[in-house]
Amino acid sequence: MDFKEGFLFDTDKADGQYKKTADNTKLRKYLPEFQFTPFAQALKETCDWFVENYHRARK
């Protein structure tokens, strides 16, 4: 790239990505037996569902 123009930072705006930290304390309090689905399994189930339901999910 041959970019020769300058750039300007807008310091009036927040820097970085907005985030909201999650807390599952209430979930664990009210559903102590709750088990999270392992990530690999959840990803596979989600992808399988999407493939089977593509025609409805992408209308």
Q: How far apart are CA 38 and CA 52, in angstroms?
A: 21
Residue of 3 and 45 predicted with greater confidence: 45
State residue 20's pLDDT score. 83
pLDDT for 1 beyond 70: no
Task: Indicate whether this model's pTM tops 0.75.
Answer: no
How many CA atoms are closer than 13 Å to the CA of 53, on its beta-carbon side? 8
pLDDT digits (tens, 9 = 90+) for 6-44: 888 788 877 777 888 899 999 999 999 999 999 999 999
Q: CB–CB of 28/34 below 8 Å?
A: yes
